[in-house]
Chain A
Amino acid sequence: MTGEVFHHALKFRTEVCIGCSHCMNVCPTRAIRIQGGKAMLIGDRCVDCGKCYNVCPVGAIIVEQDDFRRIFDYKYRVALIPNVLLGQFPEIVSISQICSVLMGMGFTHIFEVEHGTRLLKDAMGKIVGEKDRKRPLISSFCPAIVRLIQVRFPMFADNIILLKTPLDVSAAYYKKKLLDQGAAPEQIGVFYITPCAAKIAAIKSPVGEEGSSITGVINMDFIYNKIYTSVKQGHKAEKSCSLPAMERLGAGEMLWTLTEGESQQMPGRALAIDEISNVIEFLEMMENEEVTDIDFLELRACDQSCAGGILTSGNRFFTVERLRKRAQLVESGADEMLYQNRGESIADLAGYLRAQLSVDRVKPRSMDKLDEDMGKALTKMRRVQEIMNSLPHVDCGICGSPTCNALAEDIVQGEADIRQCIYVQKKMEQQGELPCAESMEIMKAIWGEKKFE
């Protein structure tokens, strides 16, 4: 298949894969095929949304992460934690307890990712408010969405707001803060505890950005298990362990990563849409010119946004409820127990951070086109139409492609054979054009010998 352009955090372990095709059937960009009894990923089409990860019954899809011991390569070991991590646990698990476990694991500093939203809110609001902008402006927050737009909706690549994510702003801030305190650059390791795979992919191969201030990524489920184990074993929180002495997060900042977290803070008519199928449906409507007069779009690949990230362990609805409750406490000023309001603020380095808020243009790279050359694309399309006439339109997936249309396109691209279709096989067998033994071989090539033993 085509060469890999993206770094993907999702890895398919072929030795574990049982070729059940659940992943193929849920993939919103049709990036998966079955060959030789195994799921195969077409890298160019994958946007790292993680739908496949959620449905795999045998754990054959894993999310690549950095070796945890890598943190000890650095003297200053910063854990960047999203609020969603705190929302994983019921209220009885205190923030200082969570911090204790993180410090116990070896981190020397803990910083909440949401601090980065403070500067972004103003910068984004300003852009959304500017006249002569291509509308609606689309947030660059969710990396799976940025990639989705690149490959499936290239028309909207220029609608994406070219600003860093809160994560990158926070990482840049904390790094600078440590540098200013005398740390050497090579002594600082900034590790993000991620709720999703797309963030990892974005850090390893950023879209529209040169490099990243983030050293490595730790999967949230790994940390979740450490914290839960510690709580279950009855370890008490160390008094000295808490969030850094920072100005506390406002409610709007705390809720930024949840659905409507951005849209409610943007000027004009702003809309929030979560879950990738919903996003695709909406972007298609937009392509059809059926959507007008919207200034800002917050688009998130996961249901309930980051609370529904594939690496979260807690129920996403409870996570949202807890974080909203906590934000209400902050709002009412009743949270003194949780946070101590001490001087330092990300705004102290506002000038430094603002100077590097922008990222490069997001380049469209359509995966829909049948061929670069239009004449060839027309020939291929004619063939797709012809092939579709002999396919059953039931999208059963027995051919190893997710839909009849996907099979027809795979055939014209030379990646598949029409005899992979079980309906076509039956017809050909009936007419004596395909010996039974041969059709069996075709099926084995798709689903593997094992399934026919």
Chain B
Amino acid sequence: MSEKVGVEYNVDGGNFTRAGYASSEIKKILKKLNVDMGIIKRTVVATYEGEVNIVAHAYSGTIYADIDTERVRIVLRDEGPGIPDIEQAMEEGFSTASSQVREMGFGAGMGLPNMKKNADVMNISSEVGKGTTVEIILYFKQIASS
């Protein structure tokens, strides 16, 4: 059986003071596991974007990370308004953020595209009125066949 470590963090909607806590904790774990610095960086960027998305849009959420010797997998699940049109949300620059949120430096419409860019795999599912789940995976080694 291959070794695996799992952690889970709660995220409060609307609490920007705490935004970044989960991604910071996940970063610390990856550093302790001697993961390549470039991969840590991409993981942190993608997770931070997702975490800010939950804070900005949802009522509450959880961020779950599990890591084995092959990859890090992060699942960001929230209870919130959901995304009506995922394809549109994936377009760079598309944003639903209020001006208040934009003033804080968020909501430039780069969140989801940036997550996709930094992750090797990204899956997203959403139900309007219920919430959104985003799964991202980053592999520690390039898969030869790809």
Bound-complex Cα distance A288 to B40 (A) = 10
Bound-complex Cα distance A372 to B33 (A) = 8
Contact A378-B3, Cβ < 8 Å, known A288-B23, A366-B34, A369-B32: yes
Q: Chain A's nearest CB lies how many Å from the CB of B55?
A: 13
Chain A residue at minimal CB-CB distance from B5: A381
Q: Find A378's partner among B24, B27, B33, B48 (CB 8 Å cutoff).
A: B33
A385 within 8 A of B: yes
A331 within 8 A of B: no
Q: Are A288 and B44 in contact (CB under 8 A)?
A: yes
B69 within 8 A of A: yes
Q: Which residues of B contact A375 (CB under 8 A)?
A: 2-3, 69
Bound-complex Cα distance A288 to B5 (A) = 21
Contact with B along A163-196 (1 / 0, CB 8 A): 0000000000000000000000000000000000
A226 within 8 A of B: no
Contact A289-B48, Cβ < 8 Å, known A378-B3, A382-B5: yes
Bound-complex Cα distance A288 to B69 (A) = 22
Q: Chain A's nearest CB lies how many Å from the CB of B18?
A: 12
Q: Which residues of B contact A284 (CB under 8 A)?
A: 24
Q: Are A154 and B48 in contact (CB under 8 A)?
A: no
Q: Are B140 and A374 in contact (CB under 8 A)?
A: yes
Q: Which residues of B contact A377 (CB under 8 A)?
A: 32-34
A441 within 8 A of B: no
Q: Chain B's nearest CB lies how many Å from the CB of A409?
A: 8
B130 within 8 A of A: no
Q: Are A368 and B69 in contact (CB under 8 A)?
A: no
Bound-complex Cα distance A377 to B29 (A) = 10
Contact with A along B40-57 (1 / 0, CB 8 A): 110011001000000000
Q: Are A381 and B29 in contact (CB under 8 A)?
A: yes
Q: Which residues of B contact A154 (CB under 8 A)?
A: 37
Chain B residues 11 to 33 lying within 8 A of chain A, measured CB to CB, are 20, 23-24, 27-29, 31-33
A371 within 8 A of B: yes
Q: Are A287 and B140 in contact (CB under 8 A)?
A: no
Q: Chain B's nearest CB lies how many Å from the CB of A304?
A: 29
A94 within 8 A of B: no
B4 within 8 A of A: yes
Q: Are A379 and B34 in contact (CB under 8 A)?
A: no
A15 within 8 A of B: no
Bound-complex Cα distance A155 to B2 (A) = 28
Chain A residue at minimal CB-CB distance from B67: A378
Q: Find A381's partner among B27, B32, B40, B140 (CB 8 Å cutoff).
A: B32
Q: Which residues of A contact B23 (CB under 8 A)?
A: 288
B35 within 8 A of A: yes
Chain A residues 353 to 379 lying within 8 A of chain B, measured CB to CB, are 364, 366, 368-375, 377-379
Q: Are B68 and A378 in contact (CB under 8 A)?
A: yes
Contact A372-B34, Cβ < 8 Å, known A288-B48, A289-B45, A378-B5: yes
A290 within 8 A of B: yes
Contact A287-B34, Cβ < 8 Å, known A155-B41, A375-B69: no
Q: Are A378 and B40 in contact (CB under 8 A)?
A: no
Q: Are A287 and B4 in contact (CB under 8 A)?
A: no
Bound-complex Cα distance A287 to B29 (A) = 13
Q: Are B33 and A290 in contact (CB under 8 A)?
A: no
Q: Find A155's partner among B20, B34, B37, B45 (CB 8 Å cutoff).
A: B37
Q: Which 3 A-B pairs have the closest CB atoms?
A: A378-B3, A369-B34, A368-B31
In the complex, 5 of the A-B residue pairs with CB atoms within 8 angstroms, ordered by the A residue number, are A290-B20, A364-B37, A369-B32, A375-B2, A377-B32
